[in-house]
């Protein structure tokens, strides 16, 4: 494989050099030269106005994927409650299946599920494969991977999707490695190439500064994990709260997978599971995140942030500065070395907006920033900015929310 | 050199993202002064490797840390940094044939290399990279080596020649697992606070010869490496179109709180 610059058409204009992330292009004598740092990412090829750069020698093979059909979604649950991202994936999966004119399947391993699965059928699923057994009580990678591999091998879906949760992000790579297929992590956009009918998987890298579209070129299924909270949840018929009879109503769409639990040996011994007391740490589960930074001034003041989060039905986030000062625990940290979140509303309080913080939250739908420094970089990416003292603004805001009315 | 507890730390060189900015006029990257650094999470992996080594040594056994990276020749510098930080040995996997690798091809290349290293009991990785940002290399590598993998470790509770107990962060909870060694773990920022390089370490880093392993050295067929060995392929890279237009909410705290309250109402948040 080789990357080549056509000496006849290259003008040495530097467009390619400007987009190269890897210091792999030098311009000498009005000619671009590509050195050994190149990782073949293709950014320069897109950037070149003269079509002077070309990657050659990628083995072209014809693959026959005609045996693969349908979109399958891994429905993630923990102790019986289904992860929100699974509904989002079913909604997206339905769209992809419609575009391809094919079916939407779900695969749900779990334990003690029956009454709780009715909602799944509100998303236009054609068939739900259930594997119900005590072995699935805890979310253990090697046990879950076996049943997913079995389902994929048996039903041969063309596309397989799972949530980019911490479980999904360790489980699906294992499944992909066993099946021997590609996996694209953390997608934020999925679509179908109209000509080739293949899955175009778009995902952010470099903290959302760049987007890459990726294809699975030579294996099936085309597998992707999808970021929670990105795809819209679109129930086709409204979930009905009377869950007890729901399950049987959908019996025609359910198939119980046959398997022998004795074959599901695990290398993992789960010694304990504990929740952090008091505060939820699962930031990606919430529509509203209220984050505090160094401007909060100290650990006790996080109570104010928590109160605002509570009245908004949200969760508490933090900047690294706040976490490193031990004001709040690490699972709350948002950013490059913390969590990536994209809630409907992100309220940054006393956070300057360093690029590493932005990397974890700039894809939020609405960003509200409260900061006393009018030049804080957070205002550059905010939708609404409030220059002022958070200790004066937030208590007033809480009061208004609690009373439900504005005073002016 | 028998019965040595070898810890392999996988590290990657990434462009330091601090400097990456988008030129709003041309919507292209401003790449002046991009420096390359050790992937931030991998610095915790190195530190944890050194700490495990010290723990094993305290129990009177021999232990060593080997840092490996697959990357272009210039990646050698992060291996020297790893040595300065306490790694004993380093191996650079570098070959034109490795370029363009996706996580699968990366994991396969690392697997081939690990197989050549004697006495390894534990592999430590960062939980994800800045550029790839997938966290897939760890679980894929572990599967290829047929060993258990525990992701997002926030502490190594116990370690011996036989087994390891790891507490890790799951969605909304901590889970503690025990697995037999050899095993692989990936670590986040909460696992430790990396030390600064020691003088002795810096000296060693300067003088160490770092072997370079090519595809042939790890018995990797070129068709299984790099882009040809990858299942996925990047077909397009572009910068997202952000249209940020900040609306400032002015006035004193009373008016600001009021205005924000109205906005939240409009957004159906309250
Ligand atoms: C490799 C690497 C990884 C990193 N990863 C992350 C990450 O994941 N997440 C992250 O957040 N950071 C990360 N950082 C750190 C980042 O660079 C910043 O240092 C950090 O985000 C700053 O936190 P801050 O905004 O809370 O603090 P500061 O930058 O100190 O900002 C505090 C802000 O509070 C304002 N303020 C003070 N008092 C008040 C008040 N009473 N009312 C209103 N406003 C007030 C100030 O004007 C100021 O803007 C990383 C850095 C590196 C090098
Ligand atoms: N080229 C590489 N060389 C060595 N280790 C790597 C490489 N790529 C990834 N890793 C390791 O795998 C982890 C996860 O990477 P990623 O799957 O790219 O997010 C990193 O933190 C490293 O520990």
pLDDT in tens, A158-175: 999 999 998 999 999 999
Evaluate the omega torsion of the peptide bond into residue A66 and state whether it is cis, within 30 degrees of 0.
Answer: no
Q: A interface mutation test: which of B111, B237, B250, B252 has the most A CBs within 10 A?
A: B237
- Nearest chain A residue to B253 by CA: give it: A393
Q: What is the pLDDT of residue A185?
A: 95
Chain B hits for A142, Cβ within 8 Å: 148
Q: What is the pLDDT of residue B2?
A: 60
Check if the beta carbon of residue B11 is closer than 8 Å to that of residue B90: no
Q: Does residue A332 line the site of ligand 1, with CB under 6 A?
A: no
The mean of the pLDDT values for chain B is 91
Task: Looking at the CA of A388, name the nearest ligand.
Answer: 1
Q: Does residue B138 line the site of ligand 2, with CB under 6 A?
A: yes
Give contacts of A 97-156 with B, CB under 8 A: 139, 141-142
- CB-based contact A141 B149, cutoff 8 Å: yes
Has residue B28 got a pLDDT over 80?
Answer: no
**B29 pLDDT tier (thresholds 50, 70, 90):** low
- CB-based contact A37 B74, cutoff 8 Å: yes
Has residue B22 got a pLDDT over 90?
Answer: no
Has residue B18 got a pLDDT over 60?
Answer: no
> Mean pLDDT throughout A139-146?
94
Task: Looking at the CA of B42, name the nearest ligand.
Answer: 2
Has residue B89 got a pLDDT over 50?
Answer: yes
Has residue B258 got a pLDDT over 90?
Answer: yes
Tally the residues of chain B.
Answer: 270
Q: Does residue B188 line the site of ligand 1, with CB under 6 A?
A: no
Pick the more confident residue, A395 or A404. Answer: A395
Pick from B228, B253, B269: CB nearest A312: B269
Least confident of A271-280, B78-87, B102-111: A271-280
Q: How far is B145 from chain A (nearest CA, A)?
A: 11
Q: Which residues contact A365 (CB under 8 A, 6 or more apart)?
A: A342, A343, A344, A345
A326 sits in the region (left: phi over 0; alpha: psi -120 to 50; else beta) called: left
The two tokens of residue B261 are 């309250």
Q: Which of B111, B138, B225 to mutate to test the pocket of ligand 2 (most atoms within 8 A of CB)?
A: B138
The mean of the pLDDT values for chain A is 91
State the Cα–Cα distance between residues B22 and B30, nearest whole angstrom: 6
Q: What is the pLDDT of residue B33?
A: 53
**A363 pLDDT tier (thresholds 50, 70, 90):** confident
Alpha carbon of A350 to ligand 1 centroid (Å): 8
Has residue B1 got a pLDDT over 60?
Answer: no
pLDDT in tens, A47-59: 899 999 988 876 6
State the Cα–Cα distance between residues B81 and B58, nearest whole angstrom: 25
- CB-based contact B261 A400, cutoff 8 Å: yes
> Mean pLDDT throughout A102-126?
90
Has residue B103 got a pLDDT over 90?
Answer: yes
Q: What is the pLDDT of residue A156?
A: 96
- CB-based contact A36 B73, cutoff 8 Å: yes
**B204 pLDDT tier (thresholds 50, 70, 90):** very high
Has residue A228 got a pLDDT over 70?
Answer: yes
Q: What is the pLDDT of residue A365?
A: 92
Residue B143 exposed, middle or buried by CB count within 10 Å (0-12, 13-18, 19+): buried
Q: How far is A245 from chain B (nearest CA, A)?
A: 30
Has residue A206 got a pLDDT over 80?
Answer: no
Domains for chain B: give ranges and CATH numbers. Answer: 4-224 (3.40.50.620)
pLDDT in tens, A289-338: 999 999 999 999 999 999 999 999 999 999 999 999 999 999 999 998 89
Has residue B19 got a pLDDT over 70?
Answer: no
Task: Looking at the CA of A356, name the nearest ligand.
Answer: 1
Q: Does residue A350 line the site of ligand 1, with CB under 6 A?
A: yes
> Mean pLDDT throughout A359-388?
95
Q: Does residue A228 line the site of ligand 1, with CB under 6 A?
A: no
Q: Does residue B188 line the site of ligand 2, with CB under 6 A?
A: no
Domains for chain A: give ranges and CATH numbers. Answer: 2-56 (3.30.70.20), 71-258 (3.40.50.620), 283-403 (3.40.50.1220)
DSSP string, chain B: -TTEEEEEEE--EEE-GGG-EEETTTTEEE-TT--EEE-HHHHHHHHHHHHHHHHHHHTT-EEEEEEEEES-GGGHHHHHHHHHTT-SEEEEE--GGGTT--HHHHHHHHHHHHHHSTTEEEEEEES--SSS----HHHHHHHHTT--EEEEEEEEEEE-SSEEEEEEE-SSSEEEEEEESSEEEEE-GGG--PPPPPHHHHHHHHH----EE-TGGGT--GGGSTTTT-SEEEEEEE--------EE--SSHHHHHHHHHHHHHHTT--
Q: B interface mutation test: which of A43, A58, A331 has the most B CBs within 10 A?
A: A331
Q: Which of B72, B79, B137, B145 to mutate to test the pocket of ligand 2 (most atoms within 8 A of CB)?
A: B137
* ipTM score of complex: 0.89
| pTM greater than 0.95 | no
Determine which residue's CA is closest to atom 4 belonging to ligand 2.
B69
Q: Does residue B225 line the site of ligand 2, with CB under 6 A?
A: no
> Mean pLDDT throughout A281-289?
90
pLDDT in tens, B106-139: 999 999 999 999 999 999 999 999 888 899 999 9
Chain A hits for B190, Cβ within 8 Å: 329-331
Q: What is the pLDDT of residue A46?
A: 80
Has residue B237 got a pLDDT over 90?
Answer: no
- Nearest chain B residue to A359 by CA: give it: B17
Has residue B32 got a pLDDT over 90?
Answer: no
**A408 pLDDT tier (thresholds 50, 70, 90):** low
- Nearest chain A residue to B141 by CA: give it: A177
Least confident of A107-111, A233-237, B73-77: A233-237
- CB-based contact A344 B269, cutoff 8 Å: yes
**B27 pLDDT tier (thresholds 50, 70, 90):** very low
Chain A hits for B101, Cβ within 8 Å: 39
- CB-based contact B20 A311, cutoff 8 Å: no
Least confident of A132-141, A168-177, B17-26, B112-121: B17-26
pLDDT in tens, A185-205: 999 999 999 988 999 999 988
- Interface check for A385 against chain B (CB to CB < 8 A): the answer is yes
Q: What is the pLDDT of residue A404?
A: 83
State the Rg of chain A over Cα.
24
In chain A, helix, strand, coil percent, each to 5?
A: 35, 25, 40
Determine which residue's CA is closest to atom 18 belonging to ligand 1.
A354
Determine which residue's CA is closest to atom 8 belonging to ligand 2.
B12
- Interface check for A386 against chain B (CB to CB < 8 A): the answer is yes
Has residue B241 got a pLDDT over 80?
Answer: no
Q: A interface mutation test: which of B187, B236, B242, B268 has the most A CBs within 10 A?
A: B236
Ranges of H-type helices in A101-157: 141-155
Q: Which of B13, B15, B39 to mutate to test the pocket of ligand 2 (most atoms within 8 A of CB)?
A: B39
Pick the more confident residue, A24 or A221. Answer: A221
Alpha carbon of A403 to ligand 2 centroid (Å): 51
């Amino acid at each position: 494989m080789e990357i080549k610059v056509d000496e006849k058409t290259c003008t040495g204009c530097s467009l390619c050099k400007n987009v190269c992330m890897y210091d792999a292009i030098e311009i000498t004598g009005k000619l671009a030269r590509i050195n050994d740092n190149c990782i073949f990412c293709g950014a320069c090829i897109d950037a070149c106005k003269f079509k002077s750069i070309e990657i050659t020698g990628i083995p072209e093979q014809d693959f026959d994927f005609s045996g693969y059909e349908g979109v399958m979604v891994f429905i993630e649950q923990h102790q019986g409650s289904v992860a929100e991202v699974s509904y989002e994936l079913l909604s997206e999966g339905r769209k992809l299946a419609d575009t391809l004119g094919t079916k939407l399947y779900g695969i749900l391993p779990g334990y003690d599920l029956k009454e709780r699965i009715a909602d799944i059928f509100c998303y236009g699923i054609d068939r739900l494969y259930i594997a119900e057994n005590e072995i699935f009580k805890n979310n253990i990678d090697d046990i879950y991977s076996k049943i997913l591999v079995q389902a994929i091998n048996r039903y041969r879906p063309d596309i397989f999707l799972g949530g980019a949760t911490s479980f999904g992000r360790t489980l699906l790579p294992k499944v992909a490695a066993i099946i021997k297929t590609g996996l694209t992590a953390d997608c934020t956009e999925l679509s179908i190439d109209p000509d080739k009918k293949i899955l175009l998987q778009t995902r952010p890298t470099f903290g959302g500064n760049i987007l890459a579209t990726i294809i699975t070129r030579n294996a099936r299924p085309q597998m992707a994990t999808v970021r929670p909270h990105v795809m819209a949840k679109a129930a086709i018929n409204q979930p009905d709260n009377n869950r007890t009879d729901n399950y049987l109503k959908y019996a025609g769409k359910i198939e119980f997978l046959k398997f022998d639990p004795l074959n599901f040996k695990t290398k993992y011994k789960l010694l304990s599971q504990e929740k952090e007391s008091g505060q939820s740490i699962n930031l990606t589960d919430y529509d509203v995140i209220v984050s505090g930074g160094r401007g909060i001034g100290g650990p006790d003041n996080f109570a104010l942030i928590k109160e605002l989060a509570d009245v908004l039905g949200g969760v508490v986030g933090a900047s690294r500065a706040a976490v490193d000062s031990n004001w709040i625990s690490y699972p709350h940290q948002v950013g490059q070395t913390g969590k990536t979140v994209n809630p409907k509303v992100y309220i940054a309080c006393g956070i300057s907006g360093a690029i590493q913080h932005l990397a974890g939250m700039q894809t939020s739908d609405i960003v509200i920033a409260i900061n006393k420094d009018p030049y804080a970089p957070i205002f550059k990416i905010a939708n609404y900015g409030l220059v002022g003292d958070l200790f004066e603004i937030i208590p007033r805001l809480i009061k208004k929310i609690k009373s439900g009315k504005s005073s002016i | 050199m028998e019965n040595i507890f070898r810890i392999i730390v996988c590290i990657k060189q990434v462009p330091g993202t601090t400097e990456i900015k988008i030129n709003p006029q041309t919507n292209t990257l401003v790449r002046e002064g991009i420096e390359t650094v050790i992937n931030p999470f991998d610095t915790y992996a190195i530190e944890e490797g050194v700490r495990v080594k010290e723990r094993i040594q305290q129990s009177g056994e021999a232990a060593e840390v080997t840092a490996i990276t697959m990357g272009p020749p210039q990646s050698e510098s992060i291996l020297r940094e790893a040595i300065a930080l306490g790694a004993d040995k380093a191996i650079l996997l570098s070959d034109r044939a490795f370029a363009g690798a996706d996580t699968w091809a990366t994991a396969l290349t690392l697997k081939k290399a690990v197989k050549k290293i004697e006495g390894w009991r534990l592999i430590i990785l960062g939980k994800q990279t800045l550029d790839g940002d997938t966290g897939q290399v760890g679980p894929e590598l572990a599967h290829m080596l047929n060993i258990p993998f525990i992701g997002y470790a926030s502490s190594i509770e116990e370690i011996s020649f036989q087994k390891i107990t790891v507490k890790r962060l799951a969605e909304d909870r901590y889970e503690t697992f025990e697995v037999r060694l050899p095993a692989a773990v990936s670590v986040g920022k909460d696992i430790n606070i990396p030390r600064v390089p020691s003088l002795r370490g810096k000296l060693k880093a300067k003088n160490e010869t770092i072997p370079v392993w090519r595809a042939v050295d790890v018995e990797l067929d070129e068709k299984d490496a790099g882009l040809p060995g990858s299942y996925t392929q990047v077909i397009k890279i572009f910068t997202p179109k952000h249209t940020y237009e900040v609306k400032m909410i002015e006035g004193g705290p009373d008016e600001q709180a009021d205005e924000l309250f109205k906005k939240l109402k409009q957004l159906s948040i309250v």
